[in-house]
Structure 1
Amino acid sequence: MKKKNIDLVIFDCDGVLVGGESLSTELMADEARKYGWNITNNQADKIFSGGELKKIGELIAEKSGSKVPDDWAIMMERKIAEMMRTKAVTVDGAENMLQDIIALDLPIRVGSNSSICEMDAKFSKTGLDQIFQKDRIHSARDLNIPKPNPDIYLYAAQEEGVLPEACIVLEDSDAGVEAAVRAGMTCVLLRDAEKPDPKFGDVIRIDHLSQFAGVVQSIASNL
């Protein structure tokens, strides 16, 4: 593993810090079935996880042959945020992992495809709003340039005033991995060992958050 300076740690949100993404995809599956696409919850979880709501709405329209309202993505964003205010939970080990990273004296930011509205709800319910300041939480949806575009990660680095190559990203989705790699950042993938590698780029794989701080230490030449 090649050593390099690490000046910023950037986290995806869903599946990395906040769990319950399957609740969101189940909500979308209900919507898809309402429009006539007979998709199961398991299928929806595989197809919709980490996706952009606008594109998911377009896919539902394509598969169902039904007209989906132009404001479907905004409507779903509100429904998801409302649900997460009561149902959001942290990913196992997230709080301890964050404290381990903070103990390394490294700055932290969030870069997610979720909207700020959604993340406010999720972070408030889980208490992560006590760890991340609002101006360090960034939404690719609100930028209107979602992953797999690298812009959200480049924006986080720019806001921190560091070079992309000095950033390490923790991701769980293929789209997020592609965004991080295209941004020129080191990417660590949180994924169960039996699940396949992402389709884009080289990553360092872990299967539990307790491993992440050790990976950062093994890479960072400035720690």
Structure 2
Amino acid sequence: MAMPFVLSPEGQLKLVIFDCDGVLVDSEATCCGISAEEARAAGMTVPAGKEVETFSGMALPGIQKLIEEKTGKSLGATWAAQTQARFVEAMQNGVEPIDGVHDMLENVVKLGLPVRVGSNSSCQEMAIKFKTTNLEHFFENRIHSARDMGFPKPRPDVYLHAAQEEGVKPENCVVLEDSNTGAKAAVNAGMACVLLRAQGEPVPDWPNLVVIHHLSEFAPLLQKALKTQEQ
């Protein structure tokens, strides 16, 4: 897999954008579990142990659409808001930091790179997640919600908006993602994507993509790129 342009000696790395769930905080099991409960209540079959696989990376409107397509039932205009309220309540107890996230963020900040977050979660959810995991000081006024914008991933809007707010071109950004949905959004935005993926799990054959298996690999990857770009 070729190194993305922005991480090559010819590139100029100027902004790091993080997904939230599965990259910074471990809330996917909680949120996907709630989504599966809702789906089963509507009559959709979600096998035990397949909750995360079924709903990972999806925004609530997409989850609603999937359930309605599978069951032929309408969940109604208030379903997404009600389910989001369940997410928010669960986040106060059911979220942990991803292993190594505090060290990783401190090391990225030491490199002098600005950081932002672009997520399918709402800003309300992210505020609680970051407070619970003691990450909020890294991202004060630097959080962007695809859900609140109304354009969830795999649309690139949230990542393009984050770059615009920083005053940086897409080709100067790198995104850290864990889901194919989010990685596609980064690629669609014209940005490089570093995909956090467990060893042995399949990886999409897309351009501008590089894979790591633990957060401890991320800052050294950026540091190496910056060093080659100084020469």
TM-score (norm 1): 0.95
Distance 2:15 2:125 in 1: 24
Q: Shift of residue 200 of structure 1? A: 4.1
For residues 52 and 42 of structure 1, the distance between their equivalents in structure 2, rounded to whole angstroms, comes to: 20
Which runs of 4 or more aligned residues in structure 1 lie more than 6 Å from their structure 2 counterparts after TM superposition? Answer: none
Residue 91 of structure 1: aligned partner: 98
* Structure-to-structure mapping, 1:131-150, within 5 angstroms: 131-133=138-140, 135-150=141-156
Q: Give the drift of 1:189.
A: 0.4
Cα-Cα RMSD: 1.4
Residue 171 of structure 1 corresponds to which residue in structure 2?
Answer: 177
Within the candidate set 59, 71, 83, 2:66 is matched to 59
State the Cα distance separating 1:219 from its structure 2 match.
Answer: 2.1
Corresponding pairs, count: 222
Offset of residue 183 of structure 1:
1.1
Which of 146, 149, 159 aligns to 1:153? It is 159
Per-residue displacement from partner, 1:156-189 (whole Å, max 9, x unpaired)? 1110011111111100111111111111111100
Q: State the Cα deviation string for residues 111-155 of structure 1 (Å, max 9, x = none).
A: 00110011011011111112211x200001111111111111111
Match of 2:214 in 1: 208
Structure 2 equivalent of residue 39 of structure 1: 46
Q: Percent identity?
A: 46
Partner of 2:111: 104
**Residue in structure 1 matching 2:128, options 106, 116, 121:** 121
Give the alignment partner of residue 7 of structure 1, picking from 9, 14, 18. 14
Contact kept in structure 2, 1:94 and 1:209, CA below 8 Å: yes
3-state SS in 1 of match to 2:92: helix
Query: 1:222: how far off?
Result: 4.3
Gaps of 5+ in 2: none
Q: Which residue of 1 aligns with 2:84?
A: 77
1-side partners of 2:105 and 2:19: how far apart? 13
1:195 paired to 2:214: no
After TM superposition, give the deviation of residue 202 of structure 1 in Å.
3.8
The code of the aligned residue for 1:176 comes to G
Q: Secondary structure at the match of 2:194?
A: strand
SS at match of 2:74: coil
